[in-house]
A and B are shown apart, each in its own frame.
Chain A
Amino acid sequence: MAEAIKQIRKEIPTPEQEQSQAISEIIAALASNREAIISTIGIIKHLQEMGVLDALNGLLEKRVDVGAIALQQFNQPGMHNIIKNGMNTFKFLSQLNPDELQILLNGVTRGLEKLGERIDRNDKISLWQLGNSMRNDEIRTSLFTMLGLLEGMGEVFQRDKRDLH
C-alpha cells in the first residue's frame, strides 16, 4: 500500500554550505589561473594607488546619470558640428594622394619660412613692386598651381548646384 503523498524532504543546503561550496569553487579557479590572477592583482594595485579605481567606481555607480549628462553635452549643435567636421576631415584626408600632399606641404613649409622673413623685415611695398613680383618665377609657379586648385573647387561647386535640380 502506497498512498498518494506530496511531502518531499529536500536537502536544502544551509547558507554556510552554499558559501563553502562557492568558496571552494572560487579557490579552484584561482589556483588554476595563478599567473593571470597575480598579474591582474598587480595592475589593480597600481590603479588603486593612482585613484583610478575610485573614479571608475563613481562613474559606474552613477553610469546612467553620467551617461545622460555626457550625451546631453554631445547632443548640442556645436558638438554635432565638431563630430561631423571631424568625420568630414577624416574623409578628406582619406581621399588625398599622399605624394601630392607631401609636395604641397613642403611648399607650404617653405612658404611659411618666407612669410616669417617678410614679417620680420616689415617692408612697405608699393603696387608697382607687387606687380613686378609677378615676374618672379617661383611666384608665378605658385599662382598657376593655385589656379588649378580653384578650378577643381569650381567644378565641384557647379556639380553640387546641378544636383539640386
Chain B
Amino acid sequence: MKETSFSIQINGQEFAAHSDQTILEVAQANESYIPSICFHPNLGTIQTCDTCFVNVDGEMVRACATKVQPGMNVDTNSKVVKDAQYEAMSRILKNHELYCTVCDNNNGNCVVHNTAEYLEIEHQKYQFEAKPYPPDHSHPFYRYEPDQCILCGRCVEACQDLQVNETLTIDWNREKPRVIWDNDVPIDESSCVSCGHCVTVCPCNALMEKSMLGEAGYLTKIPPKILEPMIDLTKEVEPGYKEIFAISEMEAAMRKARIKRTKTVCTYCGVGCSFEVWTKDRKILKIEPQEHAPVNGISTCVKGKWGWDYVNSEERLTKPLIRKGNEFVEATWDEALKLIASKLTGIKEQYGPDSIGYIASSKCSNEENFLFQKFARAIMGTNNVDNCSRYCQSPATAALLRTVGIGGDSGTIRDIEKSELIIVIGANPAESHPVLATRIKRAHKLHGQKLIVADLRENELAERANLFIHPKPSTDLIWISAVTKYILDQGWEDQEFLKNRVNGLDDYIQSLNKYTLDYAEKATGLSKEEMIQVATMLHESKTACVLWAMGVTQHKGATDTSTAIANLLLITGNFGRPGTGAYPLRGHNNVQGACDFGTMPAWLPGYEPIQDDKVRKRYEEAWGVTLPKDPGLDNHQMLEGVKEGKLKALYLFGEEMALVDSNVNFVDSMLEKLEFFVVQDVFFSKTAQFADVVLPASPSLEKDGTFVNTERRIQRFYKVLEPLGDSKPDWMIFQELANLLGANWNYQHPSEIMDEAASLAKYFAGVSYDRLEGFNSQIWPVAKDGTDSPLLYEKRFVFPDGKARLVPVDWTPPFEAGDEYDLHLNNGRLLEHFHEGNMTYRSEGLTHKVPHPWLEISPELAKERGVEDGSLVRLSSPYGQVKVRAIVTDRVIGKELYLTMNTREDVEAVNRLTSSYHDLITHTPNYKEMGVKMEVLEQKGEPPLPKVNHRFGNRMPQISVRVEEKWKRDDFTPITELFEIGGDQYGGSNQAN
C-alpha cells in the first residue's frame, strides 16, 4: 500500500516520493545515483557499508535507512558528502584487494568495482590487510575467500532473512571479523542448503561460483606463480586505480564477446523461478538470478542454481534407437520416424484410433503439449491423451473446478507473502517448492505472518510453525470439516460473503452435522484444542491461504479432501481478496501448463470440455478435421486398457512412468505387453527400456518455449545451447512425425504454436511471445488486450451466475494393507534431487550431498527394532519389496516411515511398494496409503546420508547481520563523527518554515 505522495529535492531537483520509501529508494527510482554497496532491492537495508551517506538539511544520514519526509532536501554531491563516502569506500578497500582484471567477477556487474570507480578512488587510503583465514573451498559449488570479503553482510541478510536458512552470520567479536557457517565449520559440513542466495548477492568475489573460477576472465586462468607477482607488480607501480579500472573495464567488455547470457525458466518445480544462464560455448558458467525476475527475484534453490550439468552429460541420448531383438540399435531420424508412422498407422487401422494412448510431459513446454494433443486428436483421432498431473494434482484441479471454477492457484506468491495466516496441509514446500517456502519463512520471521502446518512429518515449515498438528494418515478431510463446522457453530463464518457470492450453504451445513469435534478427535487423533486453535487462528486472521500438495492429493479421497479445503476457504470468505485463496502447489515446472494446454482426455486447451459441440467445432474449423467427441483414457485407464487388451500402443514423452507411477510392478508388466511403444526423452530412462523406439529429445536449455508455473504465470524460456548431437526439441519431433502422417504443419518457431493456441482458447487470448519478452510474464486468464489475472475471483467466481459452490463431501477410508503390514509408509521428494534423479544425479555436487535414497525411522521404532543410522532394511508391502538404508530421526514418529524417492534402482524404488488404488474421481494413485512390514537385514552399515548434508547442520538464527555489534567495536568510528556538518555551512537552502 502506498502512503501519501509528496515531493523531495535531491541536489535541487524535485522528485515524487511516498512516506514508506527511503532516500535511496527515491533516488534509485529516479535514476539518481547514490553509492550503496550493502543495499540490495531484494534484501533491503543492512547499514554496514556506509557508502550511502548523504547530507539531509544539514545532517549526515544513511540514504538506505532514512525515510523520506515532505520537503526534504538531500545533497549527494557536496564535498563533505563525497569525503564521507570516500572514507567509507576506503574502509571497504582495506578488506578487498582490487585486482579486477584478473578477477572472475569482473563482468561489468561487480558492485564494489563500480562503486570504487564512481567514487573516483585513486589510491588505497588504508593499507589492504589480508585476514588470517584461508579460503574455504570445501563446498562443491562455491567458495568463500575471506581476504576479499568486505563484511557488508548481504550474504548474511540473504541467508537469515530471505532464504531464511539461518546458516550464515558475521562474527563481529573476533579481532578480524569474517562470515562464518553455523558455529564456524567448513561450509560443506554446515546447515547450508546450497540455495546460492549468498553467492548471488555477494557484491564482489568473496563468494563465487566455483564454475566461474578460471573460466570467466581472459587472464584468470594464470597460475598463482605468475598471478601473485603480477598483482604485486601492478599494485607497486599503479599510477592510481583509474587506470586499473580502465583496463579492467576493457577486459570486462571483451568477456561479453564470449560469455552468453540467456534468460531461462527453471524446470525443477512449479514455482517458476527465472534467471539468466551464463555460458561459454557449452560450458555453463553460472546461473545469475535477477532482482526483477517476477516470481523469485534473486532467489533460487540448490537445483535451480547448480543442477544443470545433466545438459552436457555423456549419457544424453543423441541418436534415435530402435529395438532389434534384445538390443537397441542406433538409427537415423528418417528410419525411426518412418517406423513409428507405419506402426501407429497399422495399429490404428487394425484396432481403431482409441487403441493408442499418448502420455505428455509436464516437464516440456506449453507449445509441445499443445502440439502433442493436437497430434493425438487431429491426426490420430483419439482423446487418449493425458499428462503426469494425473499422478499429483488432478484432484486439486477437480476440486477447484467444482467449487470456484478455475483449476489453479487463486493468487500469486505475493498473496502468499502478504497473507496473515498460511495453512500448509500435506506439503513440504521447504524441499519441494523451496523458493516459495522462503517467502513464507520470511513473512513468518519478519512480518508476523502466522503459520499452521498439518503433516505426518515434522518438516522444516512444521518446525517453524506457530501450530504443527499431526493427524492420523488420510484423515485430513475429517479435521478440516470439523474445523469448518466449529467456525459455523461459533458464527465466525463470513456471512456477507456467503450471502452474496456462494451457493449451496444450507445443504453444506447439513452435510457437516457428523463432523463434531468429538468425532474428529477420535478419527484423526488430533485434540479438540488443536482443532479449536486452527479455527481460532483462522477467525483472527483477516486473510488466509491454504497450501497443499501430495499429502492431500495422493489418497483415495483426494478430490474430496481438496474440496473440503475449498469449502473451508469459502466459509471464511478467503477468496478473491489479496492475501487469500487456495494454492495447490504444482510439483513440476509445467504441470499447470500441460493441463492448461490440453493434454487431458476430457479437456481441450483452456479447460473447455471436448464434449461441448461448440468448442469442438471451433477447433475442427481451425484444424480442418473432425475431432472425436468422447473423453479419452487417462494414464491410469490406459494401463488398465493394456491389461484388457484394448490399448495396443503408447507414445510417451518426458515422463519416467516406470519409476514414478504407483505400483510399478503392474506398470512394468503392462508396458511389456504393449505391441508398440515410443519413448521420447533426454536420457535412456527406465521407461525407455520397454520401448520399441527411443527418440532423443532436447531439454529446456536447448529450445525456446513457455511454461506455466503454479501461479498460472506464463513465462518464456530461450534457447541457451544448440541441441546436443542429433537430439531435437520435442515440438519439432511431433511436427516431423505429423507431417509423415500427412499433417502438413509448418511451424517455424514455438511462438507460432502459441499464437494458434491463443487464437483458439479464450483463457490465453492475449498471450503472445512479444508480451512475454525477457522477464515479462502473463498470468492467465489473459484478455485479448493483454490484461492478465494475478488474483482470481475478485468480482465473480467462474460459473454462469458468478457464484462459488459449496460441495458437500464425505470421508473415504484409506486403503488398508492388512494387519501384518504394521508400519505406515509415507514417501516423497527431497530438496537436492528431482524425483528419481535422472537429471540431478548427473551433477557431481548434488550426488556428493545426497548419494542415495533413505528411509526415515522414528527413534522409538528404531529402538524397538534395533535399527540405527545405516542399517539395511527390507520393506515389503502386498505389492513388492525394497531394500534401503535407514536414518533415525524425530522428523517422523511412532510407526510411520518416510522413504525418499531419489533412486533409479528398482530395488530401492518406493513405487515397488505402492498400490494401484486411486482417487475415486480423478484416478490419481493413492501413493500415500500403504502399509509395510520391515525386516532388518544388516544392523550396521554406511549411513545413506553423508555427514556433509545440511540436515546434520546447526542453524544460527538471528535477524539480519547485527550491525550494532559492528558499531560497538573499539576500532569503529562512526562516519558522522568524522564528517560533522557545522551550522549552515552545507545546508544550502534556507527554508522559511
Contact = CB atoms under 8 A, between A and B. Distances in A.
Interface stretch (B683-691, B769-777, B867-875, B954-962): B683-691
B82 interface: no
Contacts of A2: 323, 671-672, 674, 677, 690-692
A64 B221 CA distance: 12
Contact of B226 (A11, A67, A84): A67
Contact of A75 (B223, B236, B330, B672): B236
Contact of B230 (A9, A10, A71): A71
Nearest to A65: B225
Contacts of B225: 64, 67-68
Nearest to A1: B672
A71 B228 CA distance: 10
Interface centre among A2, A10, A80, by most B CB within 10 Å?
A: A2
Contacts of A72: 229
A9 B330 contact: yes
Contact of A80 (B229, B237, B327, B671): B237
A27 B930 CA distance: 65
A80 B223 CA distance: 22
B668 interface: yes
A91 interface: yes
B327 A4 contact: no
Contact of B673 (A1, A9, A64, A71): A1
Nearest to A82: B237
A5 B328 contact: yes
Contacts of A67: 225-226
B323 A5 contact: yes
Contacts of B686: 4
Interface in B650-703: 658, 668, 671-674, 677, 684, 686, 689-692
Contact of B327 (A1, A8, A11, A87): A8
A11 B330 CA distance: 7
Nearest to A77: B236
B330 A64 contact: no
B992 interface: no
Contacts of B328: 5, 7-9
Contact of A4 (B321, B329, B690): B690
Interface in B310-347: 319, 321, 323, 326-330
Nearest to B684: A8
A89 B823 CA distance: 85
A144 interface: no
Contacts of B329: 8-9
Contacts of A3: 672, 690
A139 B629 CA distance: 114
B14 interface: no
Contacts of B229: 68, 71-72, 74-75
Nearest to B328: A8
A59 B148 CA distance: 33
A7 B322 CA distance: 11
Interface in A40-72: 64, 67-68, 71-72
A6 interface: yes
Interface in A61-117: 64, 67-68, 71-72, 74-75, 80, 83-84, 87, 91
Contacts of B674: 2
A67 B671 CA distance: 64
B281 interface: no
Interface residues of A, number: 23
Contacts of A9: 327-330
B257 interface: no
Interface residues of B, number: 31
A137 to B, nearest CB: 43
Contacts of A7: 326-328
B912 to A, nearest CB: 14
B634 to A, nearest CB: 23
A1 to B, nearest CB: 6
Nearest to A72: B229
B717 to A, nearest CB: 30
A49 B223 CA distance: 33
B233 interface: yes
Contacts of A1: 672-673
B239 interface: yes
A8 B315 CA distance: 12
Interface string A1-33: 111111111110000000000000000000000
B890 interface: no
A6 B689 CA distance: 6
Contacts of A5: 323, 326-328, 689
A82 to B, nearest CB: 9
A154 to B, nearest CB: 25
Nearest to B323: A2
B226 A64 contact: yes
B612 interface: no
B911 to A, nearest CB: 15
A74 B228 CA distance: 13
B232 interface: yes
A11 B328 CA distance: 11
Contacts of B223: 64
Contacts of A4: 658, 668, 671-672, 686, 689-690
A75 B233 contact: yes
B321 A8 contact: yes
Nearest to B324: A9
A75 B236 CA distance: 9
Contacts of B233: 71, 74-75, 80
Contacts of A6: 684, 689
Given A2-B691, A64-B226, A68-B229, A10 B323 contact: no
A87 B689 contact: no
Interface centre among B237, B323, B677, B690, by most A CB within 10 Å?
A: B237
Nearest to B691: A2
Contacts of A80: 233, 236-237
A87 B239 contact: yes
B25 to A, nearest CB: 38
B780 to A, nearest CB: 40
A23 to B, nearest CB: 21
A2 B223 CA distance: 55
Contacts of B321: 8
A52 B236 CA distance: 33
Contacts of A83: 237
Nearest to A11: B330
Nearest to B673: A1
Interface in B210-233: 223, 225-226, 229-230, 232-233
B233 to A, nearest CB: 5
A72 B690 CA distance: 65
A164 B216 CA distance: 42
B690 A91 contact: no
A95 to B, nearest CB: 14
Contacts of A71: 226, 229-230, 233
Interface string B811-826: 0000000000000000
B851 to A, nearest CB: 21
Contacts of A68: 225-226, 229
Interface in A118-152: none
A128 to B, nearest CB: 51
Given A6-B684, A75-B232, 6 more contacts: A3-B672, A4-B658, A7-B326, A7-B327, A10-B330, A72-B229
Sort A-B residue pairs by CB-CB distance and give the 4 closest, nearest first: A4-B689, A7-B327, A71-B229, A83-B237
16 contacts: A1-B672, A1-B673, A2-B674, A2-B690, A3-B690, A4-B658, A5-B323, A5-B327, A6-B684, A8-B330, A8-B684, A64-B223, A64-B226, A67-B225, A71-B226, A80-B236
Interface of B: 223, 225-226, 229-230, 232-233, 236-237, 239, 319, 321, 323, 326-330, 658, 668, 671-674, 677, 684, 686, 689-692
